[in-house]
A and B are shown apart, each in its own frame.
Chain A
Amino acid sequence: MTELSLRLAVSFAQILAEMSIVMITVATMTYFERKVLGWMQDRMGPMEVGPYGLLQPVADGIKLFFKEDIVPAGANKAMFALAPMLTMVVSMIGFAVIPFGPNMTWDIFGMRIKPFVVADINIGILYILAIASIGAYGIILGGWASNSKYSLLGGLRAAAQVISYELNVGLAIVGVLLLAGTLSLVEITEAQSGGFWHWFIWGGRPDGFFPIHTQIFAFVVFIISAVAETNRIPFDLPEAESELVAGFFTEYSGMRFAFFVSAEYANMTLVSCVAAALFLGGWNAPYPGTILEYAGLEQLAWVEHIVWFAAKVYFFLFLFIWIRATLPRLRYDQLMRFGWKVMLPIALANIIITSITLYFFPRV
């Protein structure tokens, strides 16, 4: 009994730590995105609240918390309330299987815990795909329950778009799964240790440098589909502010609106984490081992691993903003054509080619 409660307490502590990290990242992203977007468009971005607008996320949070919560007339109240919660929860629980740091164990109170991954389940990537698909329900429900034509159109677009691009995400990572031979994100990351040429984006075999199993096409497909799946510009048709007001969350206000927005940023962070773990070696440094290890500080090597993981994730997050600052929105038929006629064949061809090369040049 005491052991069970202790385990529960440790798990809750881990979940709380993980959630606060994600929420801090989301708050940072709301500031960082506006700032970077401003710089790229020769503006300043937020400057009023705090020095250089640093407290803007806090001000936004307070404002959204105290805003009036409007439920439109004729809306399906239960669904209307459910949709933002569903989106938010789903975007947060995906992080459970993401390994932030090395696969080490700590012994606390006679228990063995993994500090840098909340749940090291052996079907990690499958779990993320399943959870991410549920996120689409939140968007569709929110669009449908609002009793507004713009919301409904946004929800319909989201349904078609998320499903088509979810397929490409799933097919793009099959090559990586073939190489790693496992579905666990921890083991996939560990299989890429020992220098950047072992990352699955290059796919060098453990006994050589030659990138025979390169997954760079899968990587490109994954990144583009991830942008589409998180409904970001240039694939932001579900919220298309110039056509559909705000798409599926047109009728939402206050905290529910904040839920949708933070879910979007959390989803961005999630796909960035997955991209970093699958293709860019996760917490592995681009050189073999770690500098701290060579300096004789083996106990602190995990710090370097975490810094590398954060650097990769933030690179992807910056890429999201960078793309947003550059590209205009696609037309709907272009979006569908691109997803089904370009991305899908590339992903399928990548699976075939990876399988063939893996058959003739197996990884040891």
Chain B
Amino acid sequence: MTFNAWIKTVTFYDILVGMKATMSHMLHYKSVTLQYPHEKRTLPDNYRGMLSLLRYDDGTEKCVGCDLCEAACPSRVIRVVSAEVPGEPTKRYAKEYYMDMTRCLFCGLCVDACPVDALGMTREFEWSVYDKRQLDLNKEQLLAIGDRSFPVREKQLELQHPNVAFFNVAFKHLPQKPS
């Protein structure tokens, strides 16, 4: 042990450096936390929150009942009962659509898998309930979430680029936004 190291040991030098650090944090106190229920942080644009089913602007459901979301889901959250649209044998729709949100891990794979953009991830995250069964959502509830979270059914700005919009099946009939 060198003399310097010995001096540092007997004067608790390293401890004093640490105590100076904590003291400077207290003197230049700036909280990094938020008072959550009273103030909420701004969420990023690509936040993956509560799942929802979307509608077209005319109020009809986008979902065509293809079951691809059910296939894509790693946690088996989604259960789709597909059926023909009455009177239109070429079209199908989701007669029943269930999401057991207790199992959802919010990976967004179902949203990616959907060919008609019928699924969307909202920014809602305050979904704590007293009864777990309230998290087993049916089609009406999921559509209601979509209605209140996406009042204007436009694609996100980055998805409106022509190169991407080519794959945007749902909005083919709409004129592209001028860029």
Same complex for A and B? Answer: yes
Q: Residues of A with Cβ closer than 8 Å to B?
A: 36, 39-44, 47, 322-323, 325-327
Chain A residues contacting B15 (CB-CB under 8 Å) are 326-327
- B29 x A39 contact (CB < 8 A): yes
Of B19, B29, B35, the contact of A326 (CB 8 Å cutoff): B19
- Number of B residues near A (Cβ < 8 Å) is 14
Chain A residues contacting B32 (CB-CB under 8 Å) are 42-43
**How far is it, in angstroms, between the C-alpha of A36 and the C-alpha of B26 when the chains are bound?**
8
Asked whether any CB of chain A lies closer than 8 Å to the CB of B40, the reply is no
Of B19, B22, B31, the contact of A43 (CB 8 Å cutoff): B31
Chain A residues contacting B35 (CB-CB under 8 Å) are 44, 47
Give the residues from 1 to 37 in chain B that come closer than 8 angstroms, CB to CB, to chain A: 15, 18-19, 21-23, 25-26, 29-33, 35
Of A36, A41, A327, the contact of B18 (CB 8 Å cutoff): A327
**How far is it, in angstroms, between the C-alpha of A200 and the C-alpha of B68 when the chains are bound?**
81
Nearest Cβ in chain B — how far from A33, in angstroms?
A: 13
Of B18, B19, B26, the contact of A39 (CB 8 Å cutoff): B26
Chain B residues contacting A41 (CB-CB under 8 Å) are 25
- A39 x B33 contact (CB < 8 A): no
- A40 x B30 contact (CB < 8 A): no
**How far is it, in angstroms, between the C-alpha of A328 and the C-alpha of B34 when the chains are bound?**
26
Chain A residues contacting B29 (CB-CB under 8 Å) are 39, 42
6 cross-chain pairs, A with B, having the tightest CB-CB distances, nearest first? A40-B22, A39-B26, A326-B18, A325-B22, A40-B26, A326-B22
Q: Mark B17-61, 1 if CB is under 8 A from A, else 0.
A: 011011101100111110100000000000000000000000000
Of B19, B23, B31, the contact of A42 (CB 8 Å cutoff): B31
Number of A-B contacts (CB under 8 A): 34
- A323 x B19 contact (CB < 8 A): yes
Complex: chain A residue closest to B9, CB-CB: A342
- A322 x B23 contact (CB < 8 A): yes
Chain A residues contacting B25 (CB-CB under 8 Å) are 39-42
Complex: chain A residue closest to B33, CB-CB: A43
Complex: chain A residue closest to B35, CB-CB: A47
Q: Mark B70-101, 1 if CB is under 8 A from A, else 0.
A: 00000000000000000000000000000000
Chain B residues contacting A325 (CB-CB under 8 Å) are 22
**How far is it, in angstroms, between the C-alpha of A62 and the C-alpha of B31 when the chains are bound?**
29
**Interface core residue of B21, B31, B32 (most chain A CB under 10 Å):** B31
Given contacts A326-B15, A327-B15, contact A44 B33 (CB under 8 A): yes
10 inter-chain pairs at a CB distance below 8 angstroms, sorted by A residue, are A39-B26, A40-B23, A40-B25, A40-B26, A42-B29, A42-B31, A323-B19, A325-B22, A326-B18, A327-B15
Nearest Cβ in chain A — how far from B43, in angstroms?
A: 21
Complex: chain A residue closest to B21, CB-CB: A326
Nearest Cβ in chain A — how far from B25, in angstroms?
A: 5
Chain B residues contacting A326 (CB-CB under 8 Å) are 15, 18-19, 21-22
Given contacts A47-B35, A327-B15, contact A42 B30 (CB under 8 A): yes
**How far is it, in angstroms, between the C-alpha of A292 and the C-alpha of B25 when the chains are bound?**
37
Given contacts A36-B26, A39-B25, A39-B26, contact A44 B19 (CB under 8 A): no
Chain A residues contacting B33 (CB-CB under 8 Å) are 42-44
Nearest Cβ in chain B — how far from A277, in angstroms?
A: 24
**Interface core residue of B15, B19, B21, B26 (most chain A CB under 10 Å):** B26
In addition to A42-B30, A326-B21, 5 A-B residue pairs with Cβ atoms within 8 Å of each other are: A39-B25, A44-B31, A322-B23, A326-B18, A327-B15
Nearest Cβ in chain B — how far from A209, in angstroms?
A: 24
**How far is it, in angstroms, between the C-alpha of A326 and the C-alpha of B26 when the chains are bound?**
12
Nearest Cβ in chain A — how far from B24, in angstroms?
A: 9
Complex: chain A residue closest to B12, CB-CB: A220
Complex: chain A residue closest to B31, CB-CB: A44
**How far is it, in angstroms, between the C-alpha of A322 and the C-alpha of B25 when the chains are bound?**
11
